[in-house]
Amino acid sequence: MKKVSLELGQDLLLRSIDERDYGVDALVERYNSNGAGQFLVFQVKGTQDAIKVGKKGIHLSGFPRRTALYAEEFVHPFIVAYTSVKDGPRDSSPIYYLWLQRYIEYSLDVDEPGWRTDPHETMTLYIPETHAVSRDLQRICNIAESSMLQKQAHRFIVATARLEALKSADPDPTYMRELRWIMSAIQRSPMITRKFDDPTASIKDILSTVDNARSVASVQQKKKRANSEKLEEANTALCDKVAILRRRMNGMLAEVLVMDTQPSANSW
């Protein structure tokens, strides 16, 4: 644990869990300007022997199958760290790591689909030799961001569905209230908009035009003696702006839905 803490550095704070052991040894919290709520769950495995690299990478044998099943229940990334402590906490050998949920999804479920019902209590994990904490600190920070990215992706998907439901609705007060929620949901999903937005015509600018049209329509709707022609004009302008927003969100949605379905060599 001390060796892992030293390797992670100041931006990734390791907090040991000393209570009843359910397979989690520590929580790691990322500290940066945008890091609130970014956590990793760590299980740390150590050995007094030197770790050898095999044909399939680093072999971590005797790993409890129930821990792998348990890891699937976590929202935050579950990281298995494996290292030699032959020379104590300042041992210079690498700390290898495995993002267990990704490993299950992209490796075990594909290559060993019956692993969940295997009667053996333990299993062997294969960690790529390239997955060393010292050279992958930025990637580990990115992994810490992943649960927040998924949360914002879910919010964006819900907002897109609710915007689609407004397609045939009239811009009455209920419509206006729903539109405000949708706009807020998009604004509270900056990781998604930064990742998939078109910088030449940003969704921020589209939201601004929608909000301006919404304000004009709201003023006309609240007038006791509203001019029907001006009201209809304002409502039409609002629906036109919302249609532009809908098209943009539907275009981004296609990318959001597949952003995590194309595994690469570094997926786990």
Whether residue 268 lies inside any domain: the answer is no
Alpha carbons within 13 angstroms on the beta-carbon side of residue 119 total: 0
CATH classification of the domain holding 12: 3.40.1350
Of 135, 165, 188, which marks where a domain is finished? 135
Of 103, 135, 167, which marks where a domain is finished? 135
* Number of structural domains in the chain: 2
| Domain co-membership, 6 together with 126 | yes
* pLDDT for res 264: 60
| Domain co-membership, 131 together with 31 | yes
Question: What pLDDT, in 10s, does the model give residues 43-72?
Answer: 999 999 999 898 889 999 999 999 999 999
Of 90, 115, 135, which marks where a domain is finished? 135
Question: What pLDDT, in 10s, does the model give residues 186-234?
Answer: 999 998 999 888 888 899 999 999 999 999 999 998 886 768 889 999 9
| Domain co-membership, 107 together with 153 | no
CATH classification of the domain holding 177: 1.20.120
Question: What pLDDT, in 10s, does the model give residues 110-140?
Answer: 999 999 999 999 999 999 999 999 989 989 9
Whether residue 264 lies inside any domain: the answer is no
Structural domain boundaries, residue 220 = 147-258
Whether residue 220 lies inside any domain: the answer is yes
